[in-house]
Amino acid sequence: MLTRTPFDILAETYDENFVQSQTAQLQRDKVWFHLEPFLKSRGRTLRILEINCGTGEDAIRLAKMGHEVVGTDASPTMIAVSSKKAETLGMGNLRFVQCSFNEIGSKFSKQKFDLVFSNFAGINCANSSEISQLGKNFCTMLRPDGHLFFVVLSRFCLWELLYYGIQIQPRVAFRRWRKNNLFVIEGHSMPVYYYSPRGFAKLFNPYFVHDRSYPVGLFLPPTYMEKSFAGHQSWLNKLNKWEYGLGKRSAFSSLADHYCIILKKESV
């Protein structure tokens, strides 16, 4: 019998709480602000593997752009939700597969991709050893000019320090600095690991080199602050404007809630 994870429990309400909420939408828009130019710069249709695809929102958007997409997630409930969406759309260039980190290397060993993509911290559920192993697997699976494009929870989040610091909750304010953290929902838990952009990139040596990174959520608040900004639309609009000003500088990646990081397959 498979053990349920927090993501199995969250699956049915995931879109409502983490996709359709305003703060989530604004942060997702920021990711795509960086992702779309990168995709266009490749100059062709890509074959994309998405890990931790959740309910399939990004995979569907990528497929609508014409790319061939395989979305994977360890949660069977998430895959059930995303597969239902794909079935409704009837898109031949999109499919979803239940697959954990440990299964990726064997399940896709004979396939080739142009890009491995992961949005909103799915990769933070892997520890450093698992990420290093994934780097080896991705190197084999990617074509010579292949890339990784990940959106990662950072180790240092200004918003979190301020939000929980004001509430005098230092343990929560500094939780990202601890080595071991648990994400707990209804008694079910799983570990979460936080990485700086530089530390994350090093885990993929010698197979990938750091191309560039961008902050996501430097000025935009984390999704758990959605209710705090209810009725304060003008403030949220102002923060969103700053996000596309100062908040697009790569130097600030390590201070944001998340960061986009692009890694390029090393030449051999």
Q: Is residue 216 within a helix (H) or strand (E), and if so which, with residue range?
A: strand 208-216
Taking CA atoms, 105 is separated from 134, 141, 193, in Å, by: 7, 8, 21
Percent of the chain with pLDDT over 90: 80
What is the model's pTM? 0.94
- Structure token digits, residue 135: 């780097």
Alpha helix locations (H) across the chain? 6-14, 22-41, 57-64, 76-89, 101-107, 128-141, 158-166, 170-173, 197-202, 233-243
Residues 6+ apart with CB under 8 A from 116: 48, 49, 50, 51, 138, 141, 142, 146, 147, 148, 149
d(CA 266, CA 264): 6
Phi, psi of 193 (to 5 degrees): -120, 140
d(CA 10, CA 83): 16
The CATH fold assigned to 6-154+194-265 is Rossmann fold (3.40.50)
d(CA 256, CA 179): 19
Q: Is residue 192 within a helix (H) or strand (E), and if so which, with residue range?
A: strand 188-192
> Quick one: pLDDT at residue 20?
72
Domain ranges in the chain are: 6-154+194-265
pLDDT digits (tens, 9 = 90+) for 90-103: 999 999 999 999 99
d(CA 104, CA 148): 15
182, 192 Cβ separation under 8 angstroms: yes
- If you ran DSSP here, which 8-state letter would residue 201 be given? H
Say if residue 144 is preceded by a cis peptide, omega within 30 of 0: no
- Structure token digits, residue 48: 């994309």
pLDDT digits (tens, 9 = 90+) for 90-139: 999 999 999 999 999 999 999 999 999 999 999 999 999 999 999 999 99
The string of DSSP codes covering 154-168 is -S--HHHHHHHHHTT
Percent of the chain with pLDDT over 70: 91
Packing angle of the helix pair 76-89, 57-64 (nearest 10 deg): 30
Choose among 85, 37, 88, 84: nearest CA to 65: 37
pLDDT in 10s for each residue of the chain, 268 residues: 345 676 666 666 666 666 778 999 999 999 999 999 999 999 999 999 999 999 999 999 999 999 999 999 999 999 999 999 999 999 999 999 999 999 999 999 999 999 999 999 999 999 999 999 999 999 999 999 999 999 999 999 999 999 999 999 999 999 999 877 987 776 667 899 999 999 999 999 999 999 999 999 999 999 989 988 988 899 999 999 999 998 888 999 999 999 999 999 997 6
> Quick one: pLDDT at residue 116?
98
Q: Is residue 185 within a helix (H) or strand (E), and if so which, with residue range?
A: strand 181-185
> Quick one: pLDDT at residue 1?
37
> Quick one: pLDDT at residue 134?
97
d(CA 100, CA 230): 36
> Quick one: pLDDT at residue 25?
94
